[in-house]
Structure 1
Amino acid sequence: ESCLVFPFELVTQYEELVDAGKMFLVKFRQELEHFRRPMIPMESGAVSQLVKSNYTDRLKSYLEAGCHLQHQSIQNINQLQSCEEKLEDHINKAKVLIEELECLAEDVYSTTLIASLSILEASDCSDGDNNLPADCCEDEGQSVDPLDSAVSYSSVMILVHNMLKLDYSMQEKIVKALSLKTPSSELDGYCLMWDLRPYVDDNVMQLAWKFIS
């Protein structure tokens, strides 16, 4: 029973990491957009009039500084660095979980393969005996059911691992691509892809949870 539950505890931990990583990515986008917000559009008649009518020393200094306040810029940079560090930590932790899940998937596959070969060998040995009683045949037929279940479980587990590994690889590429020069359109795309998780099939995940429900 623990063999069935433990791998999906890893999946649960991974899902929690993905949610946390999403928050850090969204925060990174917000801080970066705030850091590089555009200057006041003086070409706009209404805006230009407002500036002229309120042209204080404070506003003058603000405009000369490129519409940035030093303390705010420092806060933005600190927040951006913090988000990057947390995203890198997320990637490191996710990698460990994916590797653990891979080892478990390989173990389940090997165990299932050995069991399958053993049953096939036993079946080959009994093929020449045509005098087996009916109830013995029924027992043999029933003995295949657990194997079928194990094969199905092994297949689903491998699918889950492959999906999450692709999902992790996508997130790793996103984190490595982040910088102060990342265009806004790319940031929007990264956040969308992180949220959509195109490599993860919900139907397969639901099927996987049925094995432990």
Structure 2
Amino acid sequence: MESNEDQSLSELEEEIFEKFRAFMTGIAKIDELGIAGSRLLSGFQQAIVHSCTQGLCNLIREAKEILNELEGLLGDVTSAIQTTDGKLLAFSGLDFDVELIEQTTYNDLEEKDALSHSQSPDITSTKKKKSVDVTHLAMVMAFIYSMVKQDYLMQEKIVSALDLKMSSEELESYCQMWSLRPFINDEIVNGAWEHIH
């Protein structure tokens, strides 16, 4: 029989998974905005000017709103994990700085990869594994948030720098930067989508 403490932990884990799903939905929206922005930037390049500039400004505004929602979800998850007093694996000292989070996340992903090759798949359904997962999800969320924020800041700079007088080379480099998304590690994002079920 499940104790009240186990039940509340279980509810907390489910709440964290729900927030993670909402977070990844926000990431999908940001991705869609990025694709739309790439098309608008291309339109600007082809001198379809005013509507593309206005569209890019609207897009940046919308991306900022989604980014704020993502930050709120990340904060909620971090707080939820910290209030369990170590009943879930400890996750404290969250910092949104990419460099600080990057190595931890890569190490964690490598460990998970090594585990997945050495254990049978049904292990992931155990309660202990689920506790590890919610802490892992919070770290992944923090890292993805950092990447997306860097990407947003780059896009914001590109939009504010757009000028009809800029050289075609400069505009081309902006288009490439926007479409390449140099701050986004697709492997991390794709790995995060695997947790959605």
Q: State whether TM-score is above 0.5.
A: yes
User: Which has the higher Rg, Structure 1 or Structure 2?
Assistant: 1
* 2:78 matched residue in structure 1: 109
Question: Identity, % of aligned pairs?
Answer: 35
- Which amino acid is the alignment partner of residue 10 of structure 1? G
Unpaired stretches in structure 1, ≥5 consecutive residues: 32-78, 121-141
8 Å contact from structure 1 (residues 112, 147) kept in 2 = no
* 1:66 matched residue in structure 2: none
Instruction: Report the TM-score when normalising by structure 1.
Output: 0.64
Q: Shift of the alpha carbon at 1:12?
A: 1.0
| 3-state SS, counterpart of residue 166 of structure 2 | coil
The equivalent position to 1:29 in structure 2, one of 10, 24, 45, is 45
Q: Shift of the alpha carbon at 1:119?
A: 5.8
The equivalent position to 1:147 in structure 2, one of 91, 107, 131, is 131
| 3-state SS, counterpart of residue 184 of structure 2 | coil
The C-alpha deviation readout for 1:170-210, integer Å capped at 9, x for no partner, is 00000000011111111010000011000000110011101
The equivalent position to 2:152 in structure 1, one of 165, 168, 182, is 168
> Is 1:18 the counterpart of 2:34 in the alignment?
yes
Instruction: Report the TM-score when normalising by structure 2.
Output: 0.69
Change (3 A) 1:116 1:203: farther
The C-alpha deviation readout for 1:81-114, integer Å capped at 9, x for no partner, is 1111000000000000011001101111111122
8 Å contact from structure 1 (residues 116, 147) kept in 2 = no
Change (3 A) 1:119 1:169: closer
8 Å contact from structure 2 (residues 88, 132) kept in 1 = no
The equivalent position to 1:179 in structure 2, one of 163, 187, 193, is 163
* 1:194 matched residue in structure 2: 178
The equivalent position to 1:3 in structure 2, one of 19, 22, 26, is 19
* 1:97 matched residue in structure 2: 66
The C-alpha deviation readout for 1:133-173, integer Å capped at 9, x for no partner, is xxxxxxxxx75433211110000011111110000000000
RMSD value, Cα: 1.9
